[in-house]
Structure formats: C-alpha cells, structure tokens
C-alpha cells in the first residue's frame, strides 16, 4: 500500500512539472512575441517565420504601436480560451509602448486628368508671355502649382475663377475673375510680349458677339432714353442751369506731361469734385451723354482692363454706381463722371499706350469740367479737328499706323438733369 502511494505521488509530481514546463514555455514565447514587435499572427509557424525574418534584418522593420498592443492582448485571450485546461493558463497583459506612433507618409494624389482647355500644348486659350488682368480670387504668392496645366485645372475647379496667370519660373499661380469673356476675343490684358514672364489662360463659358446680316460685326448705336442722351458734336458751348457758374480746370490738363504732374489732393479740392453730389440717389439720377467713335480723357477711378460691360449703357450704369473711397488707387476719393467703353464688335480697341484693350473693357474716370470734356480720339482723328496734327504737321494716322479708320471706343460723361455738354476740347493726347 505504501509503495503504491509513493509511486502515485511521484507520477503526479512528474505530471505537474511537465505542465509547469509547458506553461512557462508558452509565457516566454508570448514575451518574445511582443519584444520582437511581432503581432497579429494566429499560428506559431507564422510567428516563428516572422520572428526569424525580423531578426535577420537587424530589427529595421520592427514597428508596433498602441493598436498592436491591443491586438496582442486580444490574441492572447483567444489562445487561452482555445486551450482545454483554462486553469493552467496565466493571461499576461503587456504595457503599451511609450514611444508615439510614427506619422503616416502622405498619400500621393491620384493622377489628374487634364481637360482639353487646360492642355498647355494644344489649348488656344493659354497664351505664353502674357499677363491677364482681373479681380483676384486666390492670391498667387501662397499658391504654388508644378505646371500651367494644374494651375488651369485649379481655376476650373474654383468657384468664380475664369482667368489664371502662371509663372513658369516661380510656379506661382494666380486665380482671377473677369466680368465677361467673349468668344474669340482676348480678355483684359496687363502686359504682353517676349519680356513678360507670365503664362495666362481662360476658362469658359464665353459670350458670343452679335453679327450683322452682312456678316460684319458693327459697333452698337446709342439708343436714347430718359437717362441716356447722344452728344451733339456740333455744340460748342455747354448749356448750364441758371445761376451755375462756368467751371475751369483748376489742376490743368492731366495728359499735358503724360500725367506726371497730377496731384490727387488738387483734384479732391477742385470745384468739380466739391459740387458733385455723391449721394446714391443723386448719382443714380445722373444723365449719361454718350458719343460713339470717341475716347474721352480722365483719371481712372476704376481700371478698365478686365472690367467688362456688354453695352455702353451698362458701362454708364457702372459709373453711376461707383462709390468714392472704395476703388483703391491714387484717385480713390474721386467720383466717376466720365467713362470709356471698348465696343464688343472690336477684338482690340486701339489706344496709343502700352496696354492691350479688349472687347467690353469699361474705364471709369474723373475729369474736371465734364461738360467740356477733353478728347483723346474722335471719329477718323482728322478733319475738321486740325488739333490732331502734331507740331510736325503729321496726322494721327501717320503717327499711329495701327490706328483704325474710325475710333473703336464709345465714351460718355455723367451730368445732372438740366445740363447739356459741349462737344468738348481736344486734349494733349490728341497730338501724341
């Protein structure tokens, strides 16, 4: 009996030691499992393969984070639940690593499909060595794009943008907005030529111009209404209300020296500006006196390049709506009492300056004595206005071979009710 008890005790001890050996081995394996950064393997073969692979490359690929530790604990629980003898298992919970998870690298953007109008090699709306004008939608100094195609696509996907200007050297991409874009007409342009670094383009839709029955585009006629009148080019003196004193140009002719001497404070303090009623009611009641085939002088209170209007009447309305102090620039505090519009029948409106003036450009200006406005161009720029001859007796057309047979522009002035303008006087630009 004693011998049997002794043998039984020895056998039980051997079994307990074997069980303790296998439990300890399992615990050690799990500790290595975490220390080696190997997580997420549901069988020992996969674990041993991954462990040997990572040790062979010196641990360079060892990566684990908070999610890995949680996955390891979950896997430990799963293995314990699968064992026959639950009491023989000791669940081990491992601390989370102290080092933060490394940030994931940014994903490469998907390949963007370039639309035909943004194809820099084939699009007719993208022009190198050109800087288009327009109101800024997205500032270019904070907007880099690798090429003009992506600059164009960004404009296409941006609300309000229909003009983009890209610098191939600095990669700056300016997004802009012009009021109207016309089919087969170059938009308002700031600069153009081989020395211009910019590449510019446009995004439709484009407005179509009306064509006459003979297939020729004709300049619009001025249709008189309650607020729109046609200038009588034969009237030599203005008609003023009773008691209104004749006004003079206190600050001189702006163009006499290419506008170099112009001083805004002088114009602000001029009688013309002081007598101008800038209240909204008064401005909107002004009468527009309009002349076809004429370009009037004045100082721009609203730059015309890229500032579009579909008709001369619309340009006149923009002049009425202009509020002094909101336009910016050196003449910000002056009202609008004159306007110059490039008729949309013309692809380009000629002017002897460095800019490119295109269909629909609407210039808002201030001029002293608008009832006797200064004329830059009129009609055919010749007879009977001999003032177009310069000191060498050269005609306007001889001096400017690109000048049209008739002036491209339509111009006008705003005057209160009861005022009638004269045919104006030829200004210094008429002799340029």
Rounded Cα gap, residues 81 and 96, in angstroms: 23
Give the predicted TM-score (pTM) of the model: 0.59
Predicted confidence at residue 107, as pLDDT, reads 34
Predicted confidence at residue 370, as pLDDT, reads 96
Low-confidence ranges of the chain (pLDDT < 50): 33-50, 52-69, 71-72, 76, 79-80, 82-97, 101-102, 104-110
Predicted confidence at residue 387, as pLDDT, reads 72
Predicted confidence at residue 307, as pLDDT, reads 84
Nearest Cα to 151, choosing from 104, 192, 85, 199? 199
Please report how the helices 66-82 and 2-35 are oriented relative to each other, as an axis angle in degrees rounded to 10: 160
Which stretches of 173-276 are assigned E, i.e. beta strand? 173-177, 189-192, 199-202, 228-230
| Structural domains of the chain, with CATH | 2-88 (no CATH), 116-202 (3.50.4.10), 228-431 (no CATH)
Q: What tens digit of pLDDT does each residue of 113-124 get?
A: 888 889 877 788
Rounded Cα gap, residues 108 and 104, in angstroms: 12
Predicted confidence at residue 30, as pLDDT, reads 54
Predicted confidence at residue 287, as pLDDT, reads 96
User: Where do we find the tokens 């074997």?
Assistant: 18
Rounded Cα gap, residues 394 and 321, in angstroms: 41
State the DSSP H helix or E strand holding residue 26, giving kind and residue range, or none if neither.
helix 2-35
Predicted confidence at residue 140, as pLDDT, reads 94
């Amino acid at each position: 009996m004693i011998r049997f008890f002794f043998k039984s005790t020895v056998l039980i001890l051997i079994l307990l030691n074997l069980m303790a050996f296998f439990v300890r081995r399992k615990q050690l394996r799990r500790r290595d499992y975490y220390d080696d950064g190997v997580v997420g393997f549901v069988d020992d073969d996969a674990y041993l393969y991954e462990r040997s692979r990572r040790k062979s490359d010196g641990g360079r690929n060892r990566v684990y984070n908070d999610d890995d530790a949680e996955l390891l604990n979950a896997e430990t629980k799963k293995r314990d639940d699968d064992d026959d003898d639950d009491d023989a298992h000791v669940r081990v919970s491992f601390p989370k690593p102290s080092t933060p998870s490394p940030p994931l690298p940014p994903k490469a953007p998907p390949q963007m499909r370039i639309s035909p109008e943004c194809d820099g090699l084939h699009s007719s709306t993208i022009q190198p060595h050109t800087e288009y004008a327009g109101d800024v939608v997205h500032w270019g100094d904070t907007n880099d794009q690798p090429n003009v195609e992506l600059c164009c696509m960004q404009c296409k996907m941006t609300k309000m943008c229909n003009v983009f200007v890209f610098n191939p050297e600095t990669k700056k991409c300016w997004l802009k907005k012009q009021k109207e874009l016309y089919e087969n007409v170059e938009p308002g342009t700031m600069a153009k030529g081989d020395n211009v670094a910019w590449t510019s383009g446009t995004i439709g839709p484009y407005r179509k111009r009306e064509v006459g029955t003979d297939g020729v585009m004709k300049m619009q006629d001025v249709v008189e209404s309650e607020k729109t009148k046609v200038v009588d080019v034969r009237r030599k003196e203005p008609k003023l209300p009773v008691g209104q004193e004749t006004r003079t140009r206190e600050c001189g002719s702006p163009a006499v020296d290419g506008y170099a001497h112009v001083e805004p404070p002088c114009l602000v303090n001029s009688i013309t500006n002081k007598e101008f009623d800038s209240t909204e009611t008064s401005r909107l009641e002004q009468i527009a006196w309009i002349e076809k085939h004429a370009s009037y002088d004045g100082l721009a209170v609203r730059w015309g390049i890229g500032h579009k209007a579909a008709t001369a009447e619309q340009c006149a309305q923009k002049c009425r709506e202009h509020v002094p102090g909101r336009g910016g620039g050196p003449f910000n505090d002056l009202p609008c009492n004159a306007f110059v519009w490039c008729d949309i029948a013309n692809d380009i409106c000629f002017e002897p300056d460095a800019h490119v003036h295109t269909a629909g450009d609407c210039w808002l200006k201030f001029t002293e004595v608008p009832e006797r406005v200064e004329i830059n161009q009129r009609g055919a720029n010749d007879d009977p206005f001999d003032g177009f001859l310069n000191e060498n007796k050269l005609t306007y057309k001889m001096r400017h071979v690109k000048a049209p047979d008739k002036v491209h522009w339509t111009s006008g002035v705003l005057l209160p009710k009861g005022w009638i303008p004269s045919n104006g006087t030829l200004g210094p630009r008429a002799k340029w």
